[in-house]
């Protein structure tokens, strides 16, 4: 029963959030701020993670492929395919769930307990729409872009690790990467990115918006936001893989 | 004028307001007084629509707020200004942006006109050279003044003040009281103050509603308190300051 109650509450919250903004000019302003905060603010961590994921995948794949019967170009194939299909979109989104999700839940939760959301409501402003819609839209635009960057950096990390550790030269890595590349896998990665972006922001905003109490509860909401987002991302990852591959 | 008619409100099994009726007069400083947990905050929340009543009605100049839809309520909400107990200033915005916020959302003023209005409101509450400061760098009294400036920026017809003196020293409390009284008379606003600061009540109370255990026990002018003959009110007054009784 609790699940259906919470799910119903979430749907009603989303209905409010996705209504028409009070003033489009202000929505646009807030959207730009959120896009900067979510996109540019997450670039550093995404870059570091992606480079190392690619590098580690190259080294570990080479470690497992000890047979002389298998061409080394397969390392490029495996690293690029696994980066595009799984590592970049999913691992990056899980990291972003921690970074962006906790930030959103903390911000909105603090606004709730300090009566700032009440102040918006009393002014006649749809607070769910005002606070949440720009974040959801901004993340659905910026997170796919971050994932594309992550794919590029992940493959680059793998390529550089292969070259500098002497596993395989750049030419062989690229040959392997190109041999199996399909544009559809990038489309699949972007679809996952948009889905995960929606999950991260809407679930975190929901947790923050219905915070009751004080500092302790704001912290709890942030933790719940990250945990629920991560679990839902993994669930959605499986569903999308079943449906699209 | 605001009329509260036979309002009841319960949270689960706990009855917080029971058949409360009261009238709040235009151009007067109206007080809701009562001990902590007596239901006065819930009554104020019901009046501004942050809580829904279980039964009864709340009329703004005859307009039934309780039975209006969200969109209809918006029109009345734009006539309401509220000073929150914790001020509820938006901590990501400067003082100027806080006061400008309702104007940006609901007026068609140009940015120059808005700035002019912001400065007028800030001057009215005796604040200067604070436009670019953030709420975190203001004292408690200054925050309350900014809260009042934001509440009056749209020329409201109704001003709600929830515990305006909480957390303030006696001297600053009197300054805030005086400010609220002046603004009420100057703009002919229906002001409703929720407090248990009896000094404020005896200085300014033109219409006092005494709530006790969820029921209205007495209402009248401050000069009538001594002759009210209401034992609960006397007990309440004695607990705060015996010299008035």
Give the model confidence (pLDDT) of B27-60 as tens digits.
899 999 988 888 888 999 999 999 999 999 999 9
CB within 8 Å: A122 and B77 = yes
Of A103-112, A133-142, B217-226, which gets the smallest average pLDDT?
A: B217-226
d(CA B159, CA A9): 32
Q: Degrees (nearest 5) of the Cα angle B77, B82, B86?
A: 140
Q: Strands B158-162 and B80-83, how do they pair?
A: parallel
Q: Give Cβ neighbours of residue B63 (< 8 Å, ≥ 6 apart).
A: B76
pLDDT at A9: 96
Q: Strands B80-83 and B29-33, how do they pair?
A: unpaired
Q: Does B166 touch chain A (CB under 8 A)?
A: no
Residue located via tokens 């991560």: A230
d(CA B155, CA A22): 20
User: What is the overall mean pLDDT for chain A?
Assistant: 95
Bridge partners (DSSP) listed for residue B162: B194
Q: What part of B 85-104 touches A (C-beta under 8 Å)? A: 85-86, 88-91, 101-102, 104
Nearest residue of B to residue A110, measured between CA atoms? B91
The beta strand positions in A128-193, using DSSP E, are none
Selected residue of B71, B82, B155 to mutate for chain A interface (largest A Cβ count, 10 A): B82
CB within 8 Å: B84 and A22 = no
pLDDT at B235: 79
Pick from B75, B77, B86: CB nearest A115: B86
pLDDT at B37: 84
Mean pLDDT of B91-116: 94
Number of C-beta neighbours around residue A245 at 10 A? 9
SS3 at position B54:
coil
Please state whether the predicted TM-score (pTM) of the whole model is above 0.80. Answer: yes
Residue B98 C-beta-side C-alpha neighbours within 13 Å: 30
Q: Does A123 touch chain B (CB under 8 A)?
A: yes
Chain B contact set for A116 (CB, 8 A): 88-91
d(CA A79, CA A178): 11
CB within 8 Å: A122 and B104 = no
Q: Does B72 touch chain A (CB under 8 A)?
A: no
Q: Does A171 touch chain B (CB under 8 A)?
A: no
Residue located via tokens 């402003």: A125
Closest-CA distance of chain A to residue B210, Å: 24
pLDDT at A101 over 50: yes
What CA–CA distances, in Å, run from B161 to B17, B41, B93, B171, B193?
Answer: 19, 10, 22, 18, 5
ipTM score here?
A: 0.87
pLDDT at B191 over 70: yes
pLDDT at B241: 57
Residue A134 C-beta-side C-alpha neighbours within 13 Å: 24
pLDDT at B118 over 80: yes
The beta strand positions in B25-155, using DSSP E, are 29-33, 55-60, 63-64, 80-83
pLDDT in tens, B213-239: 889 888 888 888 878 777 788 877 777
pLDDT at A81 over 80: yes
């Amino acid at each position: 029963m609790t699940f259906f109650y919470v799910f119903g509450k979430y749907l009603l919250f989303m209905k409010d959030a996705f209504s028409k903004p009070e003033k489009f000019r202000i929505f646009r302003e807030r959207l730009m701020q959120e896009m900067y905060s979510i996109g540019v603010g997450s670039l550093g961590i995404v870059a570091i993670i992606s480079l190392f994921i690619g590098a580690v995948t190259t080294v570990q794949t080479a470690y497992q492929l000890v047979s002389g019967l298998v061409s080394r170009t397969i390392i490029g194939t495996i690293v690029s395919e696994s980066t595009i299909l799984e590592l970049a979109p999913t691992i990056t989104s899980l990291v972003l769930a921690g970074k962006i999700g906790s930030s959103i839940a903390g911000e909105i939760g603090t606004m709730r307990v300090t009566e700032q959301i009440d102040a918006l409501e009393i002014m006649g402003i749809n607070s769910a729409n005002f606070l949440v819609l720009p974040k959801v839209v901004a993340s659905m635009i910026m997170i796919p872009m971050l994932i594309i960057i992550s794919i590029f950096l992940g493959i680059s990390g793998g390529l550089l690790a292969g070259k500098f550790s002497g596993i395989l030269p750049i030419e062989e890595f690229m040959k392997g990467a190109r041999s199996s590349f399909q544009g559809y896998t990038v489309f699949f990665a972007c679809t996952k990115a948009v889905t995960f972006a929606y999950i991260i922001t809407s679930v975190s905003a929901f947790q923050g918006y219905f915070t009751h109490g004080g500092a302790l509860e704001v912290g709890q909401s942030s933790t719940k936001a990250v945990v629920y987002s991560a679990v839902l991302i993994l669930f959605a990852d499986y569903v999308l893989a079943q449906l699209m591959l | 004028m605001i009329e509260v008619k036979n309002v009841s409100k319960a949270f689960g099994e706990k009855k917080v307001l029971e058949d409360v009726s009261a009238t709040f007069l235009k151009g007067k400083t109206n007080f809701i007084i009562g001990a902590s947990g007596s239901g006065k905050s819930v009554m104020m929340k019901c009046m501004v629509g942050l809580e829904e009543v279980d039964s009864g009605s709340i009329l703004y100049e005859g307009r039934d707020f309780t039975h209006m839809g969200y969109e209809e309520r918006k029109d009345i909400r734009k006539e309401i200004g509220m000073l929150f107990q914790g001020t509820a200033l938006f901590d990501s915005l400067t003082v100027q942006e806080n006061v400008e916020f309702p104007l940006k959302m609901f007026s068609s003023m140009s940015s120059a006109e808005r700035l002019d209005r912001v400065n007028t409101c800030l001057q009215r509450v005796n604040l200067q050279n604070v436009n670019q400061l953030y709420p975190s760098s203001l004292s408690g009294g200054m925050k309350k003044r900014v809260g009042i400036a934001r509440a009056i920026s749209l020329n409201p017809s109704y001003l709600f003040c929830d515990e305006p003196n909480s957390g303030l020293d006696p001297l600053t409390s009197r300054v805030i009281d005086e400010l609220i009284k002046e603004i009420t008379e100057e703009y002919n606003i229906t002001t409703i103050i929720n407090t248990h600061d009896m000094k404020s009540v005896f200085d300014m109370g033109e219409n006092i509603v005494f709530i006790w255990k969820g029921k209205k026990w007495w209402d009248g002018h401050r000069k009538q308190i001594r002759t009210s003959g209401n034992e609960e009110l006397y007990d309440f007054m004695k607990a705060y300051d015996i010299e008035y009784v």
